[in-house]
Amino acid sequence: MLTNIDLRELSELSGNDKTFLSIYFSGPDSLKNLEKRFAQIRRVLESKESGPDEKEHFEENVNLVREYLKNNKLKSGSLCIFSCWGLDFFRTYKLTLPVKDLVRFDSSPYIRPLAELKDEYENSAVVIADNKKARIFLISSAIADHEATVHGNIKNHVKKGGWSQQRYERRRDKQLLLYAREIVDALTELEKNETFTRVILVGGKEIMRIIYDNLPPHLLERVEQKAVDLHKDEKIINNEIMELFFEQERKSEQDLWQKIRAEYLRDGLGITGITDVLAAVKIGRIEEILVNRDYKIPGKRCRKCENLEEEKVNRCANCGSDSLFTVDLVNEIVEEAQKTGASVDFCDPIQSLKEAGDIAAFLRYKY
């Protein structure tokens, strides 16, 4: 499960040379091409740019990975492996979500794919309710765990007129209110034990309205709701919930971009472009980062002082060394963000963000 992966811990592991082997398997068939990928990396390590010990570190990591895969057959699902022989570090994560096949040899664990998954599949609380029953789920890594059931058994409206109807309706309104408050209490109790960023309400319009009206303010700002006929097939209902989940994710990305853009245009707390974002994340000034999912840009890291630079430099601006090696700059920014508690949102391509440099950030402070 993604919630068990500590990206901050991984981001703090690094060296001044390429020592970490990171591997992502999309499934058991991915193993077929692993040796071919190892051979490609060996050829690259033959270049003069490679550090003196890189080949030894790589081969020792390969041996550790082979030994693990020999004793732990991958039968289904995705798998992520981080290995650093020099630091005596070896970590594996079985994933319930799909990843692309990838093998990287670098100075730190390649955590960008995990950061993207954590962003895309943030924990959400889902309330499926009608006037008879409410079910509350926690969706984590696209898997729903059943958390609570609340029974309402609210009777339908009556058509007869007069005082008896009015008394009936008052009783019914009170029952609905108590039922809704019980659902809200169950949701609040779930929040005490689990972390979730969204609340999704689906089901009957009447009960959803009353639940919404009784949510505490801090949950209210996370809510998305949709009227759904709960008599439909459960698979159709689940599909509608996931559609709403991703709609909410896309909306939050757009909202973040508009917030950063507005601040940037008024010379406030918004910055755009790789140069400014890199400079700000190094000193912990960033609160939130937004990056187009397809954005890739190489950078350079210094072997002597580990300073991180854009690829266009030939010498380290910090110590003057020309012993630099290429890194994935977005991955490095993700690592720096994890160290300082900044969030990173990977968004489906936003054209105006692309025109502004594909990456932007909201700052904690101006100067």
Q: Are residues 4 and 115 in the same domain?
A: yes
Rounded CA separation 47/45 (Å): 5
* Between 235 and 24, the higher pLDDT residue: 24
CATH no. for residue 340?
3.30.1330.30
pLDDT for position 158? 43
For the chain, the domain total comes to 3
pLDDT given for residue 156 in this prediction: 57
Name every residue whose Cβ is closer than 8 Å to that of residue 265 and which is 6 or more positions away in sequence. none
CA-wise closest residue to 21 among 94, 111, 81: 81
In angstroms, rounded to a whole number, what is the distance separating the alpha carbons of residues 127 and 215? 12
Question: Which two structure tokens, joined as six digits, stand for 299?
Answer: 């950078």
Mean per-residue pLDDT over the chain, rounded? 89
- Which residues touch 103 (CB under 8 Å, ≥6 apart)? 21, 22, 23, 24, 34, 37, 38, 41
Q: Which residues contact 286 (CB under 8 A, 6 or more apart)?
A: 277, 280, 337, 340, 342, 361, 362, 363, 364
pLDDT at 146 (0 to 100)? 60
Residue 159 scores a pLDDT above 60: no
Q: Are 229 and 155 in contact (CB under 8 A)?
A: no
Question: What is the rounded CA–CA span in Å between residue 249 and residue 288?
Answer: 15
- pLDDT at residue 123 tops 50: yes
How many Å is the maximal CA-CA distance in the chain?
93
- Token duo for residue 227: 């009227």
152 and 83 in a common domain:
no
Same domain, 265 and 347: yes
C-alpha to C-alpha distance for 252 and 93, rounded to whole angstroms: 28
* More reliable by pLDDT, 181 or 240: 181
Q: For residue 49, give both structure tokens.
A: 């740019």
Q: How far is CA 73 from the centre of its chain?
A: 27
- Please state, in angstroms and rounded to a whole number, the distance separating the CA atoms of residues 89 and 66: 15
pLDDT-based confidence at residue 365 (cuts at 50, 70, 90): very high
Could you tell me what percent of the chain has a pLDDT over 70? 94
- Whether residue 223 is found in the same domain as residue 264: no
How many CB atoms sit inside 10 A of residue 101's CB? 16
Mean pLDDT of 146-158: 64
Note whether 100 and 208 are same-domain residues.
no
Residue 239 lies in a domain: no
> What is the phi-psi region of residue 220: left when phi exceeds 0, alpha when psi lies from -120 to 50, beta otherwise?
alpha
SS3 315: coil
Q: Look at residue 238 and tell me if it is in a domain.
A: no
pLDDT per residue over 275-312, tens digit each?
999 999 999 999 999 999 999 999 999 988 888 989 88
Task: Say if residue 270's pLDDT is above 90.
Answer: yes
Looking at 73, 101, 120, the residue that finishes a domain is 120
Among 76, 105, 120, residue at a domain's last position: 120
Both 34 and 72 in a single domain?
Answer: yes
| 246 belongs to a structural domain | no
Does 247 reside within a domain?
no
Better-predicted residue by pLDDT, 261 or 159: 261
Q: Which pLDDT belongs to residue 306?
A: 87
Residue 157: the pLDDT is 53
Here the tokens at position 117 are 């998954």
DSSP-derived letter for residue 131 is S
Lowest mean pLDDT among 175-189, 231-245, 352-366: 231-245
The answer to whether position 301 is within a domain reads: yes
Q: Helix %, strand %, coil % for the chain, to 5?
A: 45, 25, 30
Whether the CB-CB separation of 325 and 51 falls below 8 Å is answered with yes
> Do the domain assignments include residue 260?
yes
DSSP code for 228: -
Whole domain around residue 197: which residue ranges? 121-231
Compute the average pLDDT of residues 76-90.
95
DSSP annotation of 16 = S
Measured CA to CA, the distance from residue 366 to residue 220 in angstroms comes to: 30
Residues 6+ apart with CB under 8 A from 344: 115, 119, 288, 289, 291, 333, 334, 337
At 306-359, the pLDDT tens digits run 889 898 888 898 999 988 888 999 999 999 999 999 999 999 999 999 999 999
Cα–Cα distance, 96 to 76 (Å, whole number): 9
CATH code at position 142 = 3.30.420.60
pLDDT per residue as tens digits for the range 12-59: 998 778 999 999 999 999 999 999 999 999 999 987 777 778 999 999
User: Of the given ranges (16-20, 244-248, 260-264, 289-293), which has the lowest mean pLDDT?
Assistant: 244-248
CATH of the domain at 78: 3.30.960.10
Answer whether residue 142 shows pLDDT above 70: no
Please state the separation of Cα 31 from the chain's center in Å.
26
Q: Would you say residue 164 has pLDDT above 70?
A: no
